[in-house]
Structure 1
Amino acid sequence: MDSESTVTTCYRHPKVECHVRCTRCERFICPDCMREAAVGHQCPDCVKEGARSVRQARTLVGGRVSRVPVVTYVLIVVNVLVYLAEVAKPEIVDRFAMVGAGLLGPDGEHYLWVDPYPGGFGPEGLVDGEWYRLLTGAFLHLPPTEGTFGIAHIVMNMLALWNLGRLVEPMLGRVHYLALYLLSALGGSVLVLVIAPEDAVVGASGAIFGVGAAYYVLARRVGADMSQVNRFMAGLLLWLVISALVTSWEGHLGGLLAGGAVALAFAYAPRDGRRTLVQVGACVLLVVVLGVAAVVKVSELTGGGIPR
């Protein structure tokens, strides 16, 4: 028998002689193509195929498992960068704070809403079609010129977000967590609009209260020891009461309610093919409800006209 006919080569490197077969597809593979397997070696193609067939781990709500709370870190960085921008340009606060109805005088000063407003004054806030304020206000904080509480505002919020986010984000997954955070911020802004439209509100507190509500819901869902969780919630509710004196309790309560609703939908959606549909549907429904409430209130403030 011709010895050349028995020479075997790697299927990926035809010029390399080899004598080892892939344990999965039985093709010959050279040392560069060998991948350790439970038994023997596999080729790169079979390793990739096996990785695709492995079921990916999922969180309680169906999100992708992520041990590093990247979204929390990014949110903190964004808030800090925006705060530094405020320090450099204080007018950013007036331009992007959550204001439902305000007046901008001819001298550039900000005044309380009066309907009808005097000549020379123009509407400011959501009544002037500045709908972006519903979310931008959640990334602003009191400037340093507001005294000690000005700096403490962002420090306290970022510490709370750091501690809560590292607990809740891994339980939800990045996409679910970001959706919860933004919807909580939106819920806080809408309740401010409905109850106190003349207030200029800034801060991530509403969104953080929503994350706190999610922590409570998820802890109950997984059957965690509720003693520590209940103490946390007691502190959160106490701050909700105290905030009525020092900041916007409406924003806190709105974020708490919105975050709790989203967390309930995420945690208790059926664990089958309908789960994603139910979760997305719940988020869309909440956006619609909040949107309708905002449009109705702005229409009321503008005398029944269609808000821009």
Structure 2
Amino acid sequence: MVDRYRPGVAYEHPLAYVLGLEGLALLRSFRGEHDRAFVAERLAEIRRLLAESPDGVEVAHVDPVEGYDLWAPTYDSPNPAFDFDEPFVREIAGRLSPGVALDAACGTGRVTAVLAECGHRVVGVDSSPGMLELARKRLPDGEFHVGSLTELPSGPVDLVTCSLALTHVPDLGPVFAEFARVLRPGGCVVIADVHPEQVARGHVPAVRRADGAPGRVLSHCHRTGDYLRAALAAGLEPVRCEEPAAPAREIPASEPGPWETWPWSLAGLAPAAAQAAGAGVPSMILWEFRN
């Protein structure tokens, strides 16, 4: 009997992911980035991988509120994305005159704290009570509200920031319209998000649900043009767009590791392919808009 696809549930198989990396590496070889020996090594590695039979895992796509409440206690653990968004926000917020800054989807207040350090009066909004509890402890003098990206405090504000959240929104249009609504004339919107190429490759937050079942925070792959079209429709003009990539690094051979470390740990099953497939691929997409 053939298993049927169940909406909201993904079947994650280590071999499927690693063969995908091999395919991406071979495509780059096909256009001339690697030589005959590299191709031969990849084909031999694929044959070896096909002879193995690891187990897959069924993973539920969980609502962002549930997912971030579960993630809250460990959210501030080291995360490479923080190396991109915090300096970007700090650079922009630091050159603006101190004003009112709204951190939309503020989470634990990590970016809100950067805004406060730059002299702004901060307002944080998040849909996760667990995240907000930590934000209030981080910034006791901050103003924090439970709310959604489409129902922000009335404003007006001088600066809106939103980091690592818009991938969880199915439609960017209403969110950008809300950003524009609360912004003063001449105000600034700063967006930092996981790059759509990374989302397409399955780099999505993993959580264990209350019953121990694996889950990933429901995410959507918004292309670069999707952000731009939503912003322009809301009357926001792009000032800056950056798509930084993580520095190249050697990937050691390793075992798959526990499910929570997938797909990142799976690269160790085919290090050369993973390195070739990921070379130069952006990690984040960073935007600055003005109204």
Same fold (TM over 0.5): no
Larger helix share, 1 or 2: 1
Short-chain TM bin: under 0.3
Larger strand share, 1 or 2: 2
The structure with more radius of gyration: 1
TM-score by length of 2: 0.24
TM-score by length of 1: 0.24
